[in-house]
C-alpha cells in the first residue's frame, strides 16, 4: 500500500515545537519488527527491534528515540543489493540513541538495523504528565500520545512517520497480551506464552500499544460480523463490561455509514483492573479503566469518542501536532452524532451547550496552533467540534457528509492536514454556489482567530 501523503522530509525545522524533541533527520523507518520478552513481576523488558529503513540524505550518523531506562546492548546493520552497512559505534544520551556508520550510506539506500536492548521500562515525563509504558498492579499498559513510544522500543517518534509493525511478546502465564493488529499465533511453552501480532496498515509510533493483564475476551459484535468487535476485560468485570459496551457494534455501524468503511480488520477495547483518568486510543484498540465500567452507560460518550479515533487520528494521521484539533474535534463531534442517532438529540443542541461553556472561558486559544500547554485543553476538543458543526451548517447535511467521506477516503492510512479537509469543503461549496470567500471567512474565524465566532445556525 502506498503511503502517498507521508512527507519526504519532516515538518520544517529540526525540533518538534510541541514536544521539544529534536527530529531524527535523513531517513524513513518503513517497518518495525519487535520481539519482546516481558517479566511482569520485576517489570523487566528485553527486546530485539529490527527496523527496515531507507534514507533521503547521505548518512554517516543518525539518531533514534529511546528512553534512558532502556539500554541498547548491541546494534548490527545490513544493506540490500550487496551494499555493506556497518555500525562502528553507538551511544545513548538525553533520550536519543546515536549511531555512527563505518562508511557513509549513500542517499536512497535501503538497510536494516537490529537493536538489542534491555531494562525496566517506565513512563516518560512530559509536559502532559507521564506517558508510555506503565506498570500496573497486575500487568502493564502502553499509552504513548504524543511522544511516549521510546519508553518501550527504539523508534523515530514523530506522528507523520507511519510504518508497518510486527510485534511478538513473550510473557508469564496466565497473562494475556493484547496488541494492535491481527493475532497470528499464540504458543505456550513452560511458564510463558508468546503472542505474535501483525499490523496490516501503516501506524504512527504513538499509536503502537501493548496491553498485558489477566483478561477474559468478550465478543461484542454478532458472530460472523464483517468487523469483529471484542473486549479484553478482568473476569470480575465481564457482566458490567458487556452492558457498558452493548452499543459498541452499533456505533461502528453508524460511523461506517457517516464516515466510510471502518479502516481496520477489527476493533478491540481493553479494560484494565486499574483505574485510569481518561480512556486512551491506539490503532484498532482503545483502553479503558475499571472505573469506566459501571454497566450504566455513564461513559457512553467516551466509548463513542474513542471508537471514532479509528478514522480520525489513526487511519487519518496528523502531519504535525498543532493540527490536533483534526483528531479531537472530529472525535468530539462524533459523540454528538452518536447521540443524534441514538437519543434523537440533534448535534445542534450539543453544539449550543458546549458553545455557551466555551463562551464563558478565556478567549485566548488559537485552534490552528494551540501550543504545548493547551494541546489537550478541552477548548481544543469543543472548538474543533464546533468548527466541524459550522461547516455542516454551511453546506447542509448531504453535501457535508459527502465532503467528509471524500476527505476520509483520500487520507486513509496516511497523514492529513487542514488543507485536505478545506479542499473537500470548497468543492461542495462550489457545487452549491456558496462563494469561496464565505468558506474562507468561516475557516479563518474558527481556526485562525482567538475570539469565539457567532454560533453557527
- pLDDT, the chain, mean: 95
The proportion of the chain whose per-residue pLDDT surpasses 70, expressed as a percent, equals: 97
Q: CB neighbours of 55 closer than 8 A, spacing ≥ 6?
A: 26, 27, 28, 105, 107, 108, 109, 111
Give me the residue label for grid cell 485510569.
276
What count of Cα atoms within 13 Å lies in the side-chain half-sphere of residue 329?
A: 25
Domains and CATH numbers, the chain: 1-210 (2.60.40.1730), 317-448 (1.10.390.10)
Global pTM value: 0.96
Q: Which candidate, 65, 374, 21, places its Cα nearest to that of 205?
A: 65
Residue 316 has pLDDT above 50, yes or no: yes
Grid coordinates representing 428 are 461542495
Distance CA 212, CA 166 (A): 17
Q: pLDDT band for position 12 (50/70/90)?
A: low
Q: Which candidate, 40, 30, 88, 33, places its Cα nearest to that of 62?
A: 88
Instruction: Look at residue 2 in the predicted model and tell me its pLDDT.
Output: 33
HEC string of 197-211 equals EEEEEEECHHHCCEE
* Helix (DSSP H) and strand (DSSP E) numbers for the chain: 10, 22
Q: How far apart are the first and last CA of the chain?
A: 41
Cβ proximity of 258 and 337 under 8 Å: yes
- pLDDT for 405-427, tens place per residue? 999 999 999 999 999 999 999 99
Q: pLDDT band for position 380 (50/70/90)?
A: very high
- pLDDT for 200-233, tens place per residue? 999 999 999 999 999 999 999 999 999 999 999 9
Q: What is the DSSP string of 163-191?
A: EEEEEEEEEETT-EEEESSEEEEEEEETT
Name the least confident of 107-111, 154-158, 293-297. 293-297
Residue 104 has pLDDT above 90, yes or no: yes
C-alpha distances (whole Å) from 57 to each of 24, 27, 389 are 12, 7, 43
Grid coordinates representing 347 are 448535534
- pLDDT for 44-87, tens place per residue? 999 999 999 999 999 999 999 999 999 999 999 999 877 889 99
Distance CA 151, CA 144 (A): 8
Instruction: Look at residue 11 in the predicted model and tell me its pLDDT.
Output: 55
Grid coordinates representing 144 are 504513548
Q: Which letter, b or e, does each residue of 416-433 get, where b requires 16 or more Cβ atoms within 10 Å of its Cβ?
A: bbbebbbebbbebbeeee
- pLDDT for 331-345, tens place per residue? 999 999 999 999 999
Residue 10 has pLDDT above 90, yes or no: no
Name the least confident of 1-15, 89-103, 195-209, 344-358. 1-15
Q: CB neighbours of 252 closer than 8 A, spacing ≥ 6?
A: 221, 227, 229, 262, 267, 307
Cβ proximity of 254 and 337 under 8 Å: yes
Amino acid at each position: 500500500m502506498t503511503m502517498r501523503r507521508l512527507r519526504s522530509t519532516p515538518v520544517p525545522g529540526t525540533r518538534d515545537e510541541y514536544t521539544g524533541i529534536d527530529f531524527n533527520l535523513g531517513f524513513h523507518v518503513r517497518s518495525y519488527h519487535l520481539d519482546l520478552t516481558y517479566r511482569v513481576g520485576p517489570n523487566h523488558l528485553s527486546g530485539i527491534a529490527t527496523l527496515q529503513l531507507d534514507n533521503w540524505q547521505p548518512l554517516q550518523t543518525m539518531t533514534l528515540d529511546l528512553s534512558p531506562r532502556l539500554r541498547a546492548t548491541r546494534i548490527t546493520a545490513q544493506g540490500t543489493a550487496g551494499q555493506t552497512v556497518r555500525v562502528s559505534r553507538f551511544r545513548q544520551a538525553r533520550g536519543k540513541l546515536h549511531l555512527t556508520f563505518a562508511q557513509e550510506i549513500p542517499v536512497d539506500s535501503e538497510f536494516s538495523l537490529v537493536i538489542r536492548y534491555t531494562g525496566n521500562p517506565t513512563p516518560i515525563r512530559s509536559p502532559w504528565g507521564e506517558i508510555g509504558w506503565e506498570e500496573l498492579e497486575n500487568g502493564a499498559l502502553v499509552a504513548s500520545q504524543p511522544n511516549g513510544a521510546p519508553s518501550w522500543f527504539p523508534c523515530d517518534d514523530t506522528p507523520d512517520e507511519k510504518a508497518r509493525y510486527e510485534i511478538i511478546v513473550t510473557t508469564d502465564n496466565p497473562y494475556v497480551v493484547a496488541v494492535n493488529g491481527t493475532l497470528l499465533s499464540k504458543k505456550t511453552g513452560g511458564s510463558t506464552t508468546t503472542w505474535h501480532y501483525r499490523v496490516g496498515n501503516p501506524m504512527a509510533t504513538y499509536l503502537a500499544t501493548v496491553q498485558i493483564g489477566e483478561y477474559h475476551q468478550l465478543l461484542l459484535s454478532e458472530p460472523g460480523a464483517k468487523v469483529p468487535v471484542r473486549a479484553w476485560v478482568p473476569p470480575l468485570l465481564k457482566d458490567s463490561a458487556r452492558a457498558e459496551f452493548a452499543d459498541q457494534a452499533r456505533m461502528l455501524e453508524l460511523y461506517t455509514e457517516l464516515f466510510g468503511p471502518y479502516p481496520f480488520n477489527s476493533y478491540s477495547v481493553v479494560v484494565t483492573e486499574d483505574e485510569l483518568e481518561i480512556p486512551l486510543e491506539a490503532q484498532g484498540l482503545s483502553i479503558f479503566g475499571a472505573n469506566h465500567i459501571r454497566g450504566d452507560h455513564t461513559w457512553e460518550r467516551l466509548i463513542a469518542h474513542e471508537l471514532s479515533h479509528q478514522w480520525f487520528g489513526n487511519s487519518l494521521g496528523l502531519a504535525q501536532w498543532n493540527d490536533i484539533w483534526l483528531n479531537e474535534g472530529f472525535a468530539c463531534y462524533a459523540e454528538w452524532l452518536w447521540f443524534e442517532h441514538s437519543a434523537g438529540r440533534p448535534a445542534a443542541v450539543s453544539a449550543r451547550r458546549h458553545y455557551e461553556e466555551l463562551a464563558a472561558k478565556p478567549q485566548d486559544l488559537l485552534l490552528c496552533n494551540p501550543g504545548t500547554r493547551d494541546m489537550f485543553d478541552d477548548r481544543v476538543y469543543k472548538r474543533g467540534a464546533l468548527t466541524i458543526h459550522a461547516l455542516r451548517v454551511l453546506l447542509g447535511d448531504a453535501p457535508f457528509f459527502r465532503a467528509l467521506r471524500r476527505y476520509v477516503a483520500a487520507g486513509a492510512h496516511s497523514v492529513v492536514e487542514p488543507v485536505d479537509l478545506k479542499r473537500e469543503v470548497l468543492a461542495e461549496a462550489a457545487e452549491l454556489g456558496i462563494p469561496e470567500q464565505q468558506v474562507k471567512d468561516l475557516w479563518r474565524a474558527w481556526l485562525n482567530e482567538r475570539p469565539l465566532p457567532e454560533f453557527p445556525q
